[in-house]
Copies of this chain bind each other. A is one copy, B any other.
Amino acid sequence: MVLLDGKAAAEAMKKDIAGEVARWIGECGRKPHLAAIVVGQDPASLTYVRNKENDCRQVGMDSSVYRLSANISQEGLIECVRTLNEDPAVDGLIVQLPLPGHLNEQEIIETIDPSKDVDGFHPVNVGRMVLGLPSFVSATPAGISDLLDYYRIPTRGKECVIIGRSNIVGKPLANLLSRKGPGGDCTVTLCHSQTADLAKVCRRADILVAALGRPLFLKANMVKEGAVVIDVGITRIEDKSTKSGFRLAGDVDFEAVAPRCSYITPVPGGVGPMTRISLLKNTLQAALKRNQ
């Protein structure tokens, strides 16, 4: 069993990205620039955005963060998005989700200029990805695809089962892995709450992705001997043996499942670090495209 070390893969990829960024700066005379809008004081959101700023700095990109009041109106937030859409110094633009309940998230997503939508959440980017056209692919699916590629795990002709049909992981990943060409060509089955006999379906998988957000859900009897298991979940669960009284758990019952796998991601340190790489790659891509 090989551990899919997302942290190490991400570090290696950051070096490559930093090299490309340096080359781009040499050509264009400025740094690629990621702008992030964060609304309110949700501690997790603030941490995520801080991590993104650090990542940008590490690869030599500029970043700027717009911290808006939790009470901002829909119109006010739209105005802010539009201003950054039009700002020629901004290459990539993200709005940290979730937004406070009084705001219409979907409308905000659709206000972002698709050519700056480095989170890949705009329907145009989702649609273009599905159709096999150049697009920004959202962070988690892209990160998983990059991790498989980094470890040279073949996808072509493999049976892939994905548990969870969320808009940001399951659905785009199903489309990405079944596309024609390198990194795709899987025979993908997308499972969800209505799937009958989920364990049986999962046991078909050469590549099994758990992305349903229920800690320790995937048990050993759901995994074929030799499967590649990708764990997207990350939930804080009680653990009295730790100092804090908590630990992070994935959707996979790692202790039980790992011995059956050819490859498996740890949580933390698996998919998580790879998602952050995707945002950097998309921002660089946006900058490259704007300069063409």
Contacts and interface: CB of A to CB of B under 8 A. Distances in A.
Contacts of A124: 123-124, 127
A130 B130 contact: yes
Nearest to A106: B133
Interface in A179-206: 179-180, 185, 187-192, 194-196, 201
A98 interface: no
Contacts of A167: 130-132
Contact of A175 (B175, B192, B201): B175
Contacts of A179: 165
A196 B187 contact: yes
B189 A130 contact: no
A126 interface: yes
A175 B130 CA distance: 10
Size range of the chain A interface in the assembly: 35 or more
Given A123-B131, A130-B126, A175 B185 contact: no
Q: What's the number of copies of this chain in the assembled complex?
A: 2
Given A127-B127, A131-B126, A167-B131, A187 B178 contact: no
Interface in A108-148: 122-128, 130-133
A178 B124 CA distance: 20
B190 A178 contact: yes
| Best-buried of A106, A128, A172 by chain B (most CB within 10 Å) | A128
A156 interface: yes
Given A126-B130, A127-B124, A187-B201, A192 B180 contact: yes
A171 interface: yes
Contact of A190 (B165, B187, B194, B195): B187
A76 interface: no
A127 B124 CA distance: 6
Given A123-B133, A187-B194, 5 more contacts: A123-B123, A123-B128, A123-B131, A174-B190, A187-B192
Interface of A: 106, 122-128, 130-133, 156-159, 165, 167, 171-172, 174-175, 178-180, 185, 187-192, 194-196, 201
The 3 closest A-B pairs by CB, nearest first: A127-B127, A123-B127, A126-B127
12 contacts: A123-B123, A123-B126, A126-B127, A156-B194, A159-B201, A165-B180, A171-B175, A185-B192, A187-B189, A187-B190, A187-B196, A188-B190
